[in-house]
Copies of this chain bind each other. A is one copy, B any other.
Amino acid sequence: MAMASSELPTLLVFRVRELRFHAALRERYRVLDFLTSGEPLPAFLAAAAAADPPRAALVVGGDSARVDAAFLDAVPSLRFVFSTGAGLDHIDLAECARRGVAVANSGTVYSTDVADHAVGMLIDVLRRVSAAQRFLRRGLWPLHHHQGNDYHHHPHGHPLGTKVGGKRVGIIGLGNIGMLIAKRLEAFGCVISYNSRKPKESVVSYRYFASVHDMASESDVLVVACALSKETRHVVNKDVLDALGKDGVVINIGRGLNVDEAELVSALEEGRIAGAGLDVYEKEPKVPAELFAMDNVVLTHHCAAFTMESRSDLRDVAIGNLEAFFSGKPLLTPVLHR
């Protein structure tokens, strides 16, 4: 039975757009919604803090509210932040820890979907699946099919792709997602190596590189699967792209800022790398216009994590964590304990 609204605990909510998720939250909490408030962040937070001091907030990674010192100062009652994303680059964990604010995230809800999407983009770029579709949808197949010309190599026809098997794939960030990507690509006969802060003791069959640059120079494909931090900002830069070389492909399902986007565009334009599969961009939802004209680039709109199943799982894990917090039980997927 639903409690009267006044009895419900207050929850700050940022940028939740899914109606069903929103409804599930409103059933359980007095929702103060930044997105629909129309207010600037400081005014919204000040009003929230004054009214009925909220102890919990649900935030979405991306371009809206950053949970930093100013945010936490504005709502000193806050004791718990749930992030709907896997990445935590929008939360200042040190500031949260200092103030005793617990943090939980989506855990591994998205991991398999992101890994699947990364592998799908990798196959697409190497095998030119999207390019083939454009070729076909432009009505070019009948023209080339009935001609005697060498259409698979013809510059005006559809160039051949390259085999997935045997490719040397360097994964930047061998966390949960990176490991799932590696497992999948092993089944295709790819040769996996990885870069991370330090070698993983449990990983014996993948070669470790302490330097992304060195890994790039011995890879056909670089997959960006790391979290965004000061150290991984522009971890794929001009030097790394040049080390990867003209037959190399970049797949990014991490964060846009993990790659120097301007340098990536230049490298693609100048044929210094062979292609890219990108789900994330430096200034979302802005995608560099140059990329749209390229046939060797697969572009999706930061949707790698989103399936019907992961949406449903996210609702469960979000509400599970909030209920645990409000009833004083251990969080389900804690990043920072109380």
Mark A residues whose CB is within 8 Å of B. Answer: 17-20, 35-36, 112-113, 116-117, 119-121, 123-124, 127-130, 132-133, 135-137, 141-142, 144-146, 148-153, 158, 160-166, 183-184, 186-189, 284-287, 292, 298-301, 303, 306-311
Contacts and interface: CB of A to CB of B under 8 A. Distances in A.
8 contacts: A36-B148, A116-B127, A116-B165, A119-B188, A124-B129, A132-B301, A146-B285, A184-B184
Given A36-B148, A184-B187, A287 B130 contact: no
B112 A152 contact: no
Contact of A299 (B116, B133, B309): B133
Nearest to A123: B120
Given A116-B165, A116-B188, A303 B130 contact: no
Contact of A136 (B120, B287, B308): B287
A180 B306 CA distance: 27
A160 B311 contact: yes
Nearest to A118: B123
B152 A311 contact: yes
A276 to B, nearest CB: 13
Contact of A150 (B18, B127, B164): B18
Given A161-B307, A163-B112, A303-B158, A285 B142 contact: yes
Query: Which of A133, A165, A186 has most B Cβ within 10 Å?
Result: A133
Contact of A18 (B137, B153, B161): B153
A141 B307 contact: no
A153 B165 CA distance: 36
Contacts of A166: 309
Contact of A163 (B113, B128, B183): B113
A18 to B, nearest CB: 5
Contact of A121 (B20, B129, B137): B129
A161 B112 contact: no
Nearest to A150: B19
Contacts of A310: 163
Query: Which of A19, A117, A132, A310 has most B Cβ within 10 Å?
Result: A132
Contact of A141 (B36, B184, B287): B287
A62 to B, nearest CB: 9
Given A18-B152, A153-B19, A127 B133 contact: no
A285 B36 CA distance: 51
Query: Which of A19, A129, A136, A286 has most B Cβ within 10 Å?
Result: A129
A150 B307 CA distance: 14
Contacts of A186: 187
B132 A309 contact: no
B184 A135 contact: no
